[in-house]
Amino acid sequence: MRTQGTVGSTFRLGDLTVNRIGFGAKRLGHDREHAVLLLRRAVELGVNHIDTAGWYPTYADASYAIHDSTPLHWANEVIRRALSPYPEDLVLVTKVGPTAEGGLARPDQLRAQVEENLRTLGRDHLDVVNLRQHGLDSVAEHFGALAELRDAGLIRHLGISNARAEHLAQAQAIAPVVCVQNRYGVDFGRLNDHLVRVCGEQGIAFVPFFALAGTGREAGGVAGNDSVLALARARGVSPAQIRLAWILSRGPHLLAIPGTGNLEHLADNMAAGSIQLDPAELSGATDGASERAGDS
């Protein structure tokens, strides 16, 4: 049975409605049976928005071999194993752009990445595809290639990731943008405050990554912050819940996608939707950041 009302309010990605606390697949872990259990539990708790990518996670179990998969495609394959046939309201969001060599795909290479996501997820179309840019002054050519795949029916909606405000404008001149996925958190990537406001004004979802890990990024875990820790103690909740509640407080268009391989942490994250922070608590939990938006 799926639990409702535990993940806060909803927002729309185009014509798709999602709960504001979703799930990020990057930290599913390397035990496929446990990952299957965790994904199914996430859906039971009300998750209907899963964020993934063809390269999640790079540290997966090399022995995993469903559909001749490789560790590179492990997260997509385990999502398929756990949840296919997919619930009607489940929205899968993936990303394209980065290559296995660490660079950025050419526009003419993006179709192959989209088709690989279709294959590994077992879908005939992708709900949302984010262009994960890196080092581009203009995303027009790359985003235009994805817009053509959208027109061809392979993609339903488009977004951009690791982007700046000018990238959003460039993309919007080509096709609708339903979400922007950038680093953001209480004390990390706060120069994206401007882009958060722009997205809110235009009804575009803003989806933070590294919201829990902060400067730890790939190391995972929950970043330390004395103000966050003090507020968590005062509220009798976890620091992760305070960080997620802060994200949700920034506007109705912010969607949280905390990732974990731990069932207890999963339940803890989902419960953050019931925490309301007042303005004084919010100001005390933040200390700004000095990092440039985009190109993380």
- DSSP-based three-state secondary structure for 190: helix
56 among known catalytic residues = yes
CB neighbour class for 122 (10 Å; exposed up to 12, middle 13-18, buried from 19): middle
Within a 10 A sphere around the Cβ of 8, how many other Cβ atoms? 22
Rounded to 5°, the CA angle 82-86-90 comes to 105
Phi, psi of 174 (to 5 degrees): -105, -45
Within a 10 A sphere around the Cβ of 69, how many other Cβ atoms? 18
Q: Which one of 56, 64, 86, 184 is the catalytic residue?
A: 56
- Cα gap 162→34, rounded to integer Å: 30
Q: List the catalytic residues.
A: 56
